[in-house]
């Protein structure tokens, strides 16, 4: 069965510091991978998605970036965090190419920027 790992689970960072969140998927090959962000009390905002190694689609202009160095690894980064980057970051993998279109989420990374 497929599993998705996301870390770190919680982090507190000062404004201007860098960020790296990592996500890996097991039990599937060539998945679609996604980064969503959820601000407190809000819905899910799609940040980036990837349909293959090195292929990144950006949904929202911001100071974040994403990379997919391996088939089942997806990384979210920032060189300098802003207060507005605080939120709950969710990685997901999807079997959209198969037609089922279901997204399965990791446990999330809660980021507080001070």
**Interaction site with another protein (CB under 8 A):** 32, 34, 36, 42-44, 46, 49, 51, 57, 59, 90, 94, 96-97, 100-108
* Closer by beta carbon to another protein, 20 or else 57: 57
CA–CA separation, 7 and 16 (whole Å): 20
Residues counted in the chain: 114
Both tokens of 81, joined, read: 């965090």
* Closer by beta carbon to another protein, 19 or else 90: 90
Tell the smallest beta-carbon distance from residue 14 to another protein (Å).
Answer: 23
Kindly list the strands in the beta sheet with 19-26, ordered across the sheet, starting from the edge strand earlier in the chain: 3-7, 19-26, 73-78, 64-70
Tell the smallest beta-carbon distance from residue 16 to another protein (Å).
Answer: 27
């Amino acid at each position: 069965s497929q599993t998705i790992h996301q870390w770190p689970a919680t982090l507190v960072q000062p404004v201007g510091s860098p960020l790296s969140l990592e996500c890996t998927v097991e039990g599937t090959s060539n998945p679609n991978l996604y980064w969503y962000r959820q601000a407190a009390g809000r819905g899910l905002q799609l940040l980036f998605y990837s349909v293959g190694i090195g292929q990144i689609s950006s949904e929202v202009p911001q100071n974040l970036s994403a990379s997919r160095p391996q088939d089942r690894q997806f990384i979210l980064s920032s060189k300098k965090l802003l207060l507005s980057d605080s939120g709950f970051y969710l990685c997901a993998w999807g079997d959209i190419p198969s037609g089922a279109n279901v997204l399965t989420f990791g446990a999330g990374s809660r980021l507080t920027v001070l």
